[in-house]
Amino acid sequence: MNNNKLKIIGIVLLSILLLPINSYAVTLQEYEDAVAKYTKELQEKEAKIAKGKEEIAAVKKNIADIEDKIKAAEEEVDRLQKEIEECNKEIEKKNNESKKIMEYYQVENGNNAYLEYVFGATSITDMVYRMSVAEQLTEYNDNVMKELKRLIEENEKKKIELNKKQEELKELKKNLEKEKERIEEEVSGVEGTVPSTKGQIALYQQRVDYYRSKGCKSSDVIGVTCDVPPKSSSSGASSSVSAGAVIGENGFRFPVVGGRISWGYGSGGHKGVDITRGCGTPIYAVAPGRVYYVGNTLDNYGAYMVLVVHNVNGRLVFSQYAHVQPNIPVSVGQNVDIGTVVAYMGSTGYSTGCHLHLEMSQYYGWGYNGSYYQYRNNIISPWNYVPSPY
């Protein structure tokens, strides 16, 4: 084994050892990078949308051109049809004329214009001339009819060609419309993801602004080298703590004044402790910390809840207050103390009456980037921290 291989193995081992620690700490730089990343993503999406819209405009123009061509072909077919009809009329007319002349020529009727015309000749020469005029007239009509028939044939051929061309144009138009729909779908697909990208930018920008306002620099590890939150163990009893509050030696308190436990932790798979004490009862943070989440989107049944993170000697502890009333008096990022009302007892979500579902979890390592997933997978009994009044 050569030195390089040993080095690589060493780096890998070191990475594995450092990974769990590194993944809990976040520097302000990481939030700034996230803002830059999502801003770039947004720009790319906007460019894609603009390009798609240009393509749609070009295809639309193409379709309009084809529609013009289809219309022109239709008009040409109409014109040819009219010409055919006129030719047919003319043929009929010439045919009748010729028939009449032939009838005269065949001298079937002794008392007719042809004979009058022929016998009206002043000389033999004149008579022959007059007879040849009649013959030429029928011959002329025959030629005109032949010419007309040729024109009709030609027009019929042109009509077939134009109809074929029209079909081709219609097919082309159909394909272009499909193409247009495809691009439109693509554009609206990208447009649909723009709000979430903008949301990500806003979220990270808000964090960057917040920590900048707290004096954090890009290289600072949030919550460790800057904006360090209050520690529960060193806080002691606050002057604003409500009378009758049950406070343990570790500084944690029972979240309501009075009340009774209506469902204990762990019984029937219960992940928290249910405390009942009348609708609207103030609920206090069980320890000093910072509000991590407020809302009703984490629960399948829409229960309103508040999540608070506590820094317990470098250990990440979450406390969750669920089924509370929607009028939540704290907001995300706010520092709270054991005297701070974080919610009011309610019955939102899957609940049959006003109560507080207190749930807690703990995680090794401290950091604000503790995820809800980490929270959900490390549930503990609230009694590990919260003192029971009974």
Instruction: Write the single-letter amino acid at 109.
Output: N
CB 238 within 8 A of CB 284: no
Q: Report in angstroms how near the CB of residue 282 gets to Zn ion at its nearest.
A: 19
Q: Report in angstroms how near the CB of residue 389 gets to Zn ion at its nearest.
A: 18
Site residues for Zn ion, 62-91, by CB under 5 A, read none
Note whether 274 binds Zn ion by CB under 5 A. yes
Note whether 337 binds Zn ion by CB under 5 A. no
Q: Report in angstroms how near the CB of residue 263 gets to Zn ion at its nearest.
A: 6
Q: Report in angstroms how near the CB of residue 354 gets to Zn ion at its nearest.
A: 12
> Which range, of 217-225, 226-234, 350-358, 365-373, touches Zn ion by CB under 5 A?
350-358
Q: Exposed, middle or buried, 24 (CB in 10 Å: 0-12/13-18/19+)?
A: buried
Which residue lies nearer to Zn ion by CB, 201 or 322?
Answer: 322
Binding residues for Zn ion, how many (CB under 5 A)?
A: 3
> Which range, of 84-92, 100-108, 248-256, 264-272, touches Zn ion by CB under 5 A?
264-272
> Which range, of 43-51, 201-209, 234-242, 353-361, touches Zn ion by CB under 5 A?
353-361
The rounded Cα 28 to chain-centroid distance in angstroms is 31
Q: Report in angstroms how near the CB of residue 297 gets to Zn ion at its nearest.
A: 19
Note whether 357 binds Zn ion by CB under 5 A. yes
Note whether 303 binds Zn ion by CB under 5 A. no
Which residue lies nearer to Zn ion by CB, 220 or 274?
Answer: 274
Q: Report in angstroms how near the CB of residue 258 gets to Zn ion at its nearest.
A: 18
Which residue lies nearer to Zn ion by CB, 290 or 357?
Answer: 357
Q: Report in angstroms how near the CB of residue 303 gets to Zn ion at its nearest.
A: 10
Which residue lies nearer to Zn ion by CB, 272 or 346?
Answer: 272
Note whether 323 binds Zn ion by CB under 5 A. no
Which residue lies nearer to Zn ion by CB, 227 or 274?
Answer: 274
* 162 CB-near residues (< 8 Å, 6+ apart): 73, 76, 77, 80
Which residue lies nearer to Zn ion by CB, 303 or 312?
Answer: 303
Which residue lies nearer to Zn ion by CB, 223 or 272?
Answer: 272
Which residue lies nearer to Zn ion by CB, 301 or 364?
Answer: 301
Going from the C-alpha of 267 to that of each of 90, 235, 300, 341, the distances in angstroms are 104, 33, 21, 28
Nearest to 276 by CA among 262, 286, 266: 262
The footprint of Zn ion (CB under 5 A) covers 272, 274, 357
